[in-house]
Structure 1
Amino acid sequence: MPAFRLIASFLALMLMPIAAAPAQEQRPSTCMAIAETLPHVQFASFRLAAAEGEVSITYAGHSTYIIETPAGVTIATDYSGVYGANFTPRVVTMNRAHSSHYTLSPDPAIEYVLTGWNPDGGPVKHSLMVDDVYIRNVTTDIRGGEMGKDGNSIFIFEVAGLCIGHLGHLHHELDDSHYAAIGRLDVVMVPIDGGLTLSIESMSEIARRLSSSIILPMHRFSTPISAFASRMGENFDVQFHEGRTLLVSLGSFPQRPTIIVLEGV
């Protein structure tokens, strides 16, 4: 497992405002950074205590991945009702860049509908436990300008000792405050369309800085995987996975950071 410079934060999350939603609660994150001055320290006991079971990650299409936790919680990312609609997820996250990333009429049977934007304006803040997974978000802007401010969210799922992130429909480069709020991501889902979101150069720079063990491309359209992989550099392996589902656990990371391309991407 690569050495990480990021440690767990109690204080930063305790100060975070919470949006009104069912089962919202504050709790410490095991992924969030609070110090750059402790380059090799993390609260490993928290990670190891939670590191039970495997997490299933399935590519459904476009920017939708289906995450299933060891306790059986199902989560669909950037959910529009088109991809991953052959069953009812318990949790869905959405971003409003295009109708392929959200729906205004989700199935009422979905227990938690988490929008990446605040319909009333300003940033939205999610912080909730659903059985064995802690879900939070970091807002970014969308399409630039005031109309798109805080219109996208990077969602982070903390489960089984893992920190799993989905960048959504990211439209701009991240600054230090974003990286500090995101913290460590063991697995990150990255749009690589090269135009509708960020350029391949900018997206690969973000992916490198997040120092994830596993990078899962999405939102690809016609971009060659090689175009993204070459910009990530020689320190990253590329693996074309048979099937749409990947099982991950704290003890199953590849020896080198790896771009894993699931079937259908």
Structure 2
Amino acid sequence: MRRLLVLLFLLPTLAQAQDRRASHCIAVAEAPGVEYLHRASYRAPLPDEFTVRLNYVDHAMFLIETAGGLRAITDYSGFAGAIDTPDIVTMNRAHITHWTPDPDPAIPHVLPGWSDRVGEPVGHHLDLGEMLVRSVSTDIRGRAGGFEENGNSIFVFEVGGLCIGHLGHLHHEPDAETYAALGRLDVVMAPVDGGLTLDRPTLKRVLDRLRSSVVIPMHWWGQGSLDRFLSDMSDSFDVEVRPTSYMEVSLRSLPSRPTIVVLRPAFLSEPE
């Protein structure tokens, strides 16, 4: 009888929760087994509904493609190459290379990583069925010194059972509340420039704490800064350097040991 009364009490809350789907990333504790990733190309069909294609476009910009045809671009600066109108773009405003003031009005969903009310978290939570996109706000360094509260967002893309995080122009180590809001990130795009975003020791602490199965370096300036990052992380992560700008990943193909996967940025072009 007590269980029935509790259920009746919760029914209104459960109905409201359906309007804002909870994040499954926060509940995920471990990644499953291993199956090697394989080559693919932009706009080619994906093998199943649980596989996602990640294309490293430029600087901090990635195209995320789903089996159902959804396309999301991270830290969108206005041009990604030969691509039709994406479904979603996310932006951060630390530098103009991470956003555009004039996104194409044909893009259905444009998600800025900052609020019009300075200092307030933006709190995006966009559920498109096949993909859930949410933001976790962090601070950025102000132009006149100090920090601008909640001026950057880490965007999390939940798709195909995966939790994919893009750290944006992260300027400080997340606190415990931020780590909890992120939850488990199976794949993370991390800025590895070594100073404009996080310094190298701080970035190492962040990635060791996240312990994602796949880390994709971004925001690197030449081979030297990339090599220094790889050297810093070699005791905690395996390293796989690819000659391509893209990879396919699913829960089944996550490596058994945390791995840094280096992709070579390339603007999107029409498939041959």
TM-score surpassing 0.5?
A: yes
The 1:41–1:69 alpha-carbon spacing in structure 2 relative to 1, beyond 3 Å, is closer
Structure 2 residue 138 is the aligned partner of structure 1 residue 108: no
With CA pairs under 8 Å and 6+ residues apart, which has the higher RCO, 1 or 2?
Answer: 2
In the TM superposition, residue 201 of structure 1 has moved relative to its aligned partner by: 1.4
* Matched position secondary structure for 2:140: coil
Work out the CA distance in 2 between the residues paired with 1:91 and 1:74: 7
In the TM superposition, residue 84 of structure 1 has moved relative to its aligned partner by: 4.6
Work out the CA distance in 2 between the residues paired with 1:114 and 1:84: 20
Deviations 1:158-177 (A, max 9, x none): 11010000000001111111
Deviations 1:192-230 (A, max 9, x none): 011111111111211111010000000001343331122
The 1:211–1:103 alpha-carbon spacing in structure 2 relative to 1, beyond 3 Å, is same
* Matched position secondary structure for 1:32: helix
| 1:32 counterpart residue number | 26
In the TM superposition, residue 25 of structure 1 has moved relative to its aligned partner by: 4.7
Structure 2 residue 184 is the aligned partner of structure 1 residue 184: yes
Structure 2 residue 233 is the aligned partner of structure 1 residue 235: no
Percent pairwise identity? 50
What value does the CA root-mean-square deviation take over the aligned residues? 2.4
| 2:129 counterpart residue number | 131
Work out the CA distance in 2 between the residues paired with 1:53 and 1:41: 19
* Matched position secondary structure for 1:141: strand
| 2:80 counterpart residue number | 83
Q: How many pairs were matched up?
A: 231
Structure 2 residue 64 is the aligned partner of structure 1 residue 67: yes
Asked if 2 retains the 8 angstrom alpha-carbon contact of 1:52 and 1:161, the reply is no
The 1:25–1:84 alpha-carbon spacing in structure 2 relative to 1, beyond 3 Å, is farther
For residue 56 of structure 1, the aligned residue among 50, 53, 57 is 53
Aligned amino acid, residue 176 of structure 1: A
Aligned amino acid, residue 150 of structure 1: N
Asked if 2 retains the 8 angstrom alpha-carbon contact of 1:26 and 1:127, the reply is yes
Work out the CA distance in 2 between the residues paired with 1:245 and 1:118: 31
Asked if 2 retains the 8 angstrom alpha-carbon contact of 1:71 and 1:131, the reply is no
In the TM superposition, residue 119 of structure 1 has moved relative to its aligned partner by: 1.2
Asked if 1 retains the 8 angstrom alpha-carbon contact of 2:187 and 2:212, the reply is yes
Asked if 2 retains the 8 angstrom alpha-carbon contact of 1:76 and 1:84, the reply is no
The 1:85–1:194 alpha-carbon spacing in structure 2 relative to 1, beyond 3 Å, is farther
TM-score by length of 2: 0.79
Greater fraction of residues in helix: 2
Work out the CA distance in 2 between the residues paired with 1:209 and 1:264: 26
Asked if 2 retains the 8 angstrom alpha-carbon contact of 1:217 and 1:260, the reply is yes
For residue 91 of structure 2, the aligned residue among 91, 94, 98 is 94
Unaligned runs of 5+ in 2: 1-12, 33-47, 267-272
The 1:102–1:41 alpha-carbon spacing in structure 2 relative to 1, beyond 3 Å, is closer
Greater CA deviation, 253-262 or 156-165? 253-262
Asked if 2 retains the 8 angstrom alpha-carbon contact of 1:140 and 1:150, the reply is yes
Structure 2 residue 227 is the aligned partner of structure 1 residue 247: no
Rg larger in structure: 2
Asked if 1 retains the 8 angstrom alpha-carbon contact of 2:173 and 2:202, the reply is yes
